[in-house]
Amino acid sequence: MGYFIYPLIAVLIGAFVFGEGMGWLKVSAVGLAALAVLVLTFGLGQLPWISLVLATTFGIYGLIKKRTTVGPVISVTAEVAVIAPFLLIWLLGVHNQLWGPSIDDGSAAFGADVFDTTLLMLSGPLTALPLILFSYAARRLAMATVGLMQYVNPSLQFLVAVLVFSEPFTRWHAIAFPLIWCALALYSLHAIRQERSARINGKSVSTSSAI
Protein backbone atom coordinates (compact mmCIF):
# COMPACT_ATOMS: atom_id res chain seq x y z
CA MET A 1 0.00 0.00 0.00
CA GLY A 2 2.90 2.32 0.72
CA TYR A 3 4.05 2.18 -2.88
CA PHE A 4 0.50 2.91 -4.05
CA ILE A 5 0.42 6.01 -1.84
CA TYR A 6 3.88 7.16 -2.96
CA PRO A 7 2.79 8.52 -6.38
CA LEU A 8 0.39 10.86 -4.62
CA ILE A 9 3.08 11.92 -2.14
CA ALA A 10 5.18 12.70 -5.21
CA VAL A 11 2.34 14.85 -6.55
CA LEU A 12 2.35 16.88 -3.32
CA ILE A 13 6.14 17.23 -3.38
CA GLY A 14 5.98 18.34 -7.00
CA ALA A 15 3.33 20.94 -6.16
CA PHE A 16 4.82 22.42 -2.98
CA VAL A 17 8.55 22.07 -3.70
CA PHE A 18 8.83 22.41 -7.47
CA GLY A 19 5.72 24.47 -8.14
CA GLU A 20 4.11 21.90 -10.43
CA GLY A 21 0.45 22.57 -11.18
CA MET A 22 -2.39 21.08 -9.09
CA GLY A 23 -5.62 20.78 -11.09
CA TRP A 24 -8.87 19.43 -9.70
CA LEU A 25 -8.00 15.93 -10.90
CA LYS A 26 -4.78 15.92 -8.88
CA VAL A 27 -6.55 17.30 -5.82
CA SER A 28 -9.26 14.64 -6.17
CA ALA A 29 -6.63 11.91 -6.48
CA VAL A 30 -4.84 12.98 -3.31
CA GLY A 31 -8.19 13.25 -1.52
CA LEU A 32 -9.17 9.70 -2.48
CA ALA A 33 -5.82 8.38 -1.27
CA ALA A 34 -6.29 10.15 2.05
CA LEU A 35 -9.78 8.64 2.30
CA ALA A 36 -8.31 5.17 1.70
CA VAL A 37 -5.88 5.66 4.56
CA LEU A 38 -8.74 6.75 6.83
CA VAL A 39 -10.78 3.69 5.82
CA LEU A 40 -7.93 1.34 6.71
CA THR A 41 -7.29 3.18 9.95
CA PHE A 42 -10.94 2.84 10.96
CA GLY A 43 -11.40 -0.72 9.70
CA LEU A 44 -8.17 -2.24 11.04
CA GLY A 45 -8.14 -0.18 14.20
CA GLN A 46 -4.70 1.27 13.59
CA LEU A 47 -3.01 3.80 11.36
CA PRO A 48 -1.14 2.16 8.44
CA TRP A 49 1.97 4.00 9.58
CA ILE A 50 4.41 1.65 7.86
CA SER A 51 2.79 2.39 4.51
CA LEU A 52 2.80 6.14 5.20
CA VAL A 53 6.44 6.13 6.34
CA LEU A 54 7.44 4.08 3.29
CA ALA A 55 5.66 6.45 0.90
CA THR A 56 7.00 9.57 2.59
CA THR A 57 10.63 8.44 2.86
CA PHE A 58 10.71 7.28 -0.75
CA GLY A 59 9.19 10.60 -1.75
CA ILE A 60 12.00 12.40 0.10
CA TYR A 61 14.50 10.07 -1.62
CA GLY A 62 13.08 11.09 -4.99
CA LEU A 63 13.28 14.76 -3.96
CA ILE A 64 16.96 14.38 -3.07
CA LYS A 65 17.63 12.57 -6.34
CA LYS A 66 15.99 15.36 -8.30
CA ARG A 67 17.96 18.03 -6.45
CA THR A 68 21.38 16.40 -6.68
CA THR A 69 23.77 17.29 -9.48
CA VAL A 70 25.79 14.08 -9.15
CA GLY A 71 25.36 11.42 -11.84
CA PRO A 72 23.01 8.49 -11.09
CA VAL A 73 25.72 5.81 -11.10
CA ILE A 74 27.92 7.85 -8.77
CA SER A 75 25.07 8.67 -6.40
CA VAL A 76 23.92 5.04 -6.10
CA THR A 77 27.54 3.92 -5.63
CA ALA A 78 27.93 6.50 -2.85
CA GLU A 79 24.77 5.19 -1.15
CA VAL A 80 26.13 1.64 -1.22
CA ALA A 81 29.54 2.79 0.03
CA VAL A 82 27.97 4.50 3.04
CA ILE A 83 25.85 1.48 4.00
CA ALA A 84 28.38 -1.28 3.17
CA PRO A 85 30.48 -1.07 6.39
CA PHE A 86 27.40 -1.45 8.57
CA LEU A 87 26.22 -4.42 6.52
CA LEU A 88 29.61 -6.12 6.78
CA ILE A 89 29.61 -5.68 10.56
CA TRP A 90 26.13 -7.20 10.69
CA LEU A 91 26.94 -10.16 8.44
CA LEU A 92 30.32 -11.01 9.96
CA GLY A 93 29.70 -10.25 13.61
CA VAL A 94 26.48 -9.14 15.20
CA HIS A 95 24.23 -11.34 13.04
CA ASN A 96 25.94 -14.62 13.98
CA GLN A 97 26.12 -13.70 17.66
CA LEU A 98 22.40 -13.05 17.82
CA TRP A 99 21.10 -15.99 15.79
CA GLY A 100 23.95 -18.38 15.22
CA PRO A 101 24.53 -20.50 12.12
CA SER A 102 21.09 -22.11 12.02
CA ILE A 103 18.91 -21.25 9.03
CA ASP A 104 15.75 -22.95 10.29
CA ASP A 105 14.05 -19.61 10.83
CA GLY A 106 15.64 -18.00 7.78
CA SER A 107 17.51 -15.47 9.92
CA ALA A 108 21.04 -16.60 9.01
CA ALA A 109 20.60 -17.55 5.36
CA PHE A 110 23.55 -15.56 4.03
CA GLY A 111 26.69 -17.71 3.94
CA ALA A 112 24.98 -20.83 5.24
CA ASP A 113 23.50 -22.11 1.99
CA VAL A 114 24.98 -21.72 -1.51
CA PHE A 115 21.65 -21.33 -3.31
CA ASP A 116 20.20 -18.77 -0.88
CA THR A 117 23.49 -16.89 -0.69
CA THR A 118 23.66 -16.66 -4.50
CA LEU A 119 20.11 -15.33 -4.68
CA LEU A 120 20.89 -12.74 -2.00
CA MET A 121 24.00 -11.63 -3.89
CA LEU A 122 22.03 -11.33 -7.12
CA SER A 123 19.54 -9.11 -5.32
CA GLY A 124 22.28 -6.44 -5.22
CA PRO A 125 22.45 -5.67 -8.96
CA LEU A 126 18.71 -6.29 -9.27
CA THR A 127 18.21 -3.49 -6.75
CA ALA A 128 20.96 -1.17 -8.00
CA LEU A 129 19.82 -1.09 -11.64
CA PRO A 130 16.30 0.21 -10.89
CA LEU A 131 17.77 2.80 -8.50
CA ILE A 132 20.14 4.03 -11.20
CA LEU A 133 17.30 4.24 -13.72
CA PHE A 134 15.16 6.00 -11.10
CA SER A 135 17.94 8.57 -10.66
CA TYR A 136 17.99 9.27 -14.40
CA ALA A 137 14.19 9.61 -14.47
CA ALA A 138 13.99 11.82 -11.37
CA ARG A 139 16.33 14.39 -12.92
CA ARG A 140 14.66 14.46 -16.34
CA LEU A 141 10.92 14.14 -15.64
CA ALA A 142 8.36 15.98 -13.55
CA MET A 143 8.16 14.65 -10.01
CA ALA A 144 4.50 13.81 -10.49
CA THR A 145 5.27 11.77 -13.62
CA VAL A 146 7.97 9.83 -11.79
CA GLY A 147 5.48 9.08 -9.04
CA LEU A 148 2.82 7.97 -11.49
CA MET A 149 5.07 5.35 -13.08
CA GLN A 150 5.88 3.89 -9.68
CA TYR A 151 2.51 2.19 -9.28
CA VAL A 152 3.49 -0.52 -11.78
CA ASN A 153 5.67 -2.10 -9.09
CA PRO A 154 3.09 -2.19 -6.25
CA SER A 155 0.48 -3.56 -8.65
CA LEU A 156 2.71 -6.55 -9.30
CA GLN A 157 3.52 -6.86 -5.58
CA PHE A 158 -0.17 -6.80 -4.76
CA LEU A 159 -0.91 -9.64 -7.17
CA VAL A 160 1.99 -11.70 -5.81
CA ALA A 161 0.90 -11.11 -2.19
CA VAL A 162 -2.71 -12.14 -2.77
CA LEU A 163 -2.41 -14.80 -5.49
CA VAL A 164 0.94 -16.41 -4.64
CA PHE A 165 1.41 -15.96 -0.88
CA SER A 166 -2.31 -15.87 0.00
CA GLU A 167 -1.84 -12.91 2.32
CA PRO A 168 -5.04 -11.71 4.08
CA PHE A 169 -7.21 -9.35 2.07
CA THR A 170 -9.96 -8.00 4.31
CA ARG A 171 -13.12 -6.12 3.35
CA TRP A 172 -11.37 -2.93 4.49
CA HIS A 173 -8.58 -3.59 2.01
CA ALA A 174 -11.27 -4.25 -0.59
CA ILE A 175 -12.58 -0.71 0.03
CA ALA A 176 -9.23 1.08 0.41
CA PHE A 177 -7.39 -0.32 -2.59
CA PRO A 178 -10.07 0.57 -5.16
CA LEU A 179 -10.06 4.11 -3.75
CA ILE A 180 -6.32 4.33 -4.35
CA TRP A 181 -6.68 2.83 -7.83
CA CYS A 182 -9.37 5.41 -8.62
CA ALA A 183 -7.01 8.12 -7.41
CA LEU A 184 -4.30 6.83 -9.71
CA ALA A 185 -6.77 6.62 -12.60
CA LEU A 186 -7.72 10.28 -12.06
CA TYR A 187 -4.11 11.33 -12.05
CA SER A 188 -3.42 9.22 -15.14
CA LEU A 189 -6.27 11.04 -16.90
CA HIS A 190 -4.75 14.36 -15.88
CA ALA A 191 -1.31 13.30 -17.16
CA ILE A 192 -2.75 12.17 -20.50
CA ARG A 193 -4.62 15.45 -20.94
CA GLN A 194 -1.54 17.44 -20.02
CA GLU A 195 0.66 15.55 -22.45
CA ARG A 196 -1.90 15.91 -25.24
CA SER A 197 -2.19 19.64 -24.57
CA ALA A 198 1.58 20.06 -24.60
CA ARG A 199 1.80 18.17 -27.90
CA ILE A 200 -0.88 20.37 -29.49
CA ASN A 201 0.81 23.54 -28.21
CA GLY A 202 4.14 22.29 -29.53
CA LYS A 203 2.66 21.73 -32.97
CA SER A 204 1.08 25.20 -32.90
CA VAL A 205 4.41 26.81 -32.05
CA SER A 206 6.14 24.86 -34.84
CA THR A 207 3.50 25.92 -37.35
CA SER A 208 3.76 29.58 -36.29
CA SER A 209 7.54 29.48 -36.59
CA ALA A 210 7.31 27.98 -40.05
CA ILE A 211 4.92 30.72 -41.16
Q: Residue 22 — very low, low, confident or very high, per pLDDT cuts 50/70/90?
A: confident
How far is the C-alpha of 5 from the C-alpha of 183, rounded, in Å? 10
pLDDT in tens, 109-168: 566 677 877 887 888 788 778 777 877 777 777 766 666 666 677 777 888 888 899 888
pTM value? 0.57
Residue 102 has pLDDT above 80, yes or no: no
The DSSP-derived string for 96-128 is HHHH-S--TTSTT-TTT-HHHHHHHHHHHHHHH
Question: How far is 149 from 188, CA to CA, in rounded Å?
Answer: 10
Angle of the 114-140 helix axis to the 72-89 helix axis, nearest 10: 150
Cβ burial of 77 (10 Å; 0-12, 13-18, 19+) is middle
The rounded distance, in Å, linking the Cα atoms of 89 and 84 is 9
The more confidently predicted of residues 102 and 153 is 153
Per-residue pLDDT tens for 164-188? 998 888 888 888 888 888 887 887 7
| Side chain identity, residue 136 | Y
pLDDT bracket for residue 55 (50, 70, 90): confident
